[in-house]
Homo-oligomer: A and B are copies of this chain.
Amino acid sequence: MSEHSTGWRDLGFARLDTARAQRTGDPEVVFGGGKTPEQTVELLRALHEQHPDRAVLATRVDQPAQAAVAAEFGAAAEIDPQARCVVLGPQPTPRGSALVVAAGTSDLPVAQEAAVSARVFGTSVEVITDVGVAGIHRLFDVRDQLNGADCLIVVAGMEGALPSVVGGLTGVPLVAVPTSVGYGASFGGVAALLAMMNSCAPGVVVVNIDNGFGAGVHAARVARRAAGGVA
């Protein structure tokens, strides 16, 4: 393992971007997909050493890697099995607020990944679930919550219509997250992705299918700026 003055650290199997927090305000994040439990543990430890005062995050952590993390870090690591996320180190003081709105119960893992990510990136978060457009009155009942947030994350699979309806009710910045929930001609979330891309509500922005993490990061950055902070 070697430290490079220009801002990276050589772990042998990876070059940790140690200058990212300095450049972007937030440390690098471990994407657990396709990594061994050992690699996930080692990357988390290296990031934590780099940022002892600030929570670091791993996403897409499967069950074996969650177990390895628990064995290694014990209670110091906060594991969210539904979101498949791990948080290591003290959470930052939240600034501003994000609200995650999910269309159905099957969208919850993605919604929860968004929530955990937004929290680690420095904003407070709440999650509302099961307000799909086929029973739209459930959505009207939470309208004040929608308007009270600094940034909205709207999660939906199938026809992906929820962001359009929410985006017509409020002017709060809105990130849409298509999920792979559906079957047949939903094509693993492509139907929802296309619908969100083509939303008739102005200003809807979209992340990749099931990418709760990306939505959480964007929302946190928007929310903490709205609260008067940057990093």
Q: List residues of A whose CB falls within 8 A of some B CB.
A: 4, 6-8, 13-15, 17, 19-20, 23-26, 28-29, 33-35, 39, 103-106, 108, 129-138, 140-141, 150-151, 158-161, 164-165, 167-175, 178, 180-211, 213-215, 217-218, 221-222, 225-226, 228, 230-231
Contacts and interface: CB of A to CB of B under 8 A. Distances in A.
A4 B104 CA distance: 18
**Copies of this chain present:** 8
A134 B168 contact: yes
Given A13-B129, A24-B169, A134-B164, 4 more contacts: A23-B171, A184-B209, A203-B214, A205-B215
Contacts of A182: 198
Given A17-B138, A141-B6, A226-B225, A158 B23 contact: no
Contacts of A231: 171
9 contacts: A20-B134, A133-B201, A134-B165, A134-B199, A165-B165, A184-B211, A197-B206, A205-B218, A225-B226
